[in-house]
Structure 1
Amino acid sequence: MWKKVQDYNFTWHHQERRGAIHLSLEDGREGILNHLSSQDLGSFTALLRDEPLIWYHTTRGDITTHSAPQDEEERD
């Protein structure tokens, strides 16, 4: 299901050379985008900072910037 992202936290693991983004969702749950390259982390950083409405799909781990995501599933 699509859930609105309320807040986020970026983490870079220097020894592993991988990043992660922890998402706080509107329903109190958390999502994570893990094992990101430095390029991926930079792209997601720009997206999250520049877009006012970000949604995270709790089953698939997808994100979108639509004002109201259109999907085969209903949004809770």
Structure 2
Amino acid sequence: MWKKVDDYSLNFHNQPRRAAVHLKLDDGTKAVMHHLTIQELHALGDLLRAEPNVWYHTLRGDLVAHSAPDSEEDLD
């Protein structure tokens, strides 16, 4: 199910070296995208900063920038 991203934090942990994006979704739930490379963290950070509408798929873990969907199928 697609949920709009309301807020986020980018996290880099030095020991062990790993990166993650923590998301706060519009229904108050949270999601984490774990085990990212520094390049992936950078790209996702750019997307989250630049795009006004970002959506997260709670089952697949997908992240997309898209205007508000009319239905679930619009972002599949």
| Structure-2-length-normalised TM-score | 0.88
Distance 2:18 2:7 in 1: 21
Greater relative contact order (CA < 8 Å, ≥ 6 in sequence): 1
Aligned counterpart, 1:2: 2
Aligned counterpart, 1:51: 51
Deviation of the 1:12 alpha carbon: 0.4
Which sections of structure 2, spanning at least 5 residues, go unmatched?
A: none
Distance 2:68 2:16 in 1: 36
Q: 1:71 to 1:46 in 2, by over 3 A?
A: closer
| Structure-1-length-normalised TM-score | 0.88
Aligned counterpart, 1:18: 18
Identity of aligned residues (%): 51
More helix, by proportion: 2
Deviation of the 1:2 alpha carbon: 0.2
Aligned length in residues: 72
Deviations 1:27-70 (A, max 9, x none): 00001111001111001110100001000000111010010341
Q: Please tell me the residue identity of whatever aligns with 1:56.
A: Y
Dislocated runs of 4+, deviation >4 Å: none
Q: Any idea what SS the aligned residue of 2:22 has?
A: strand
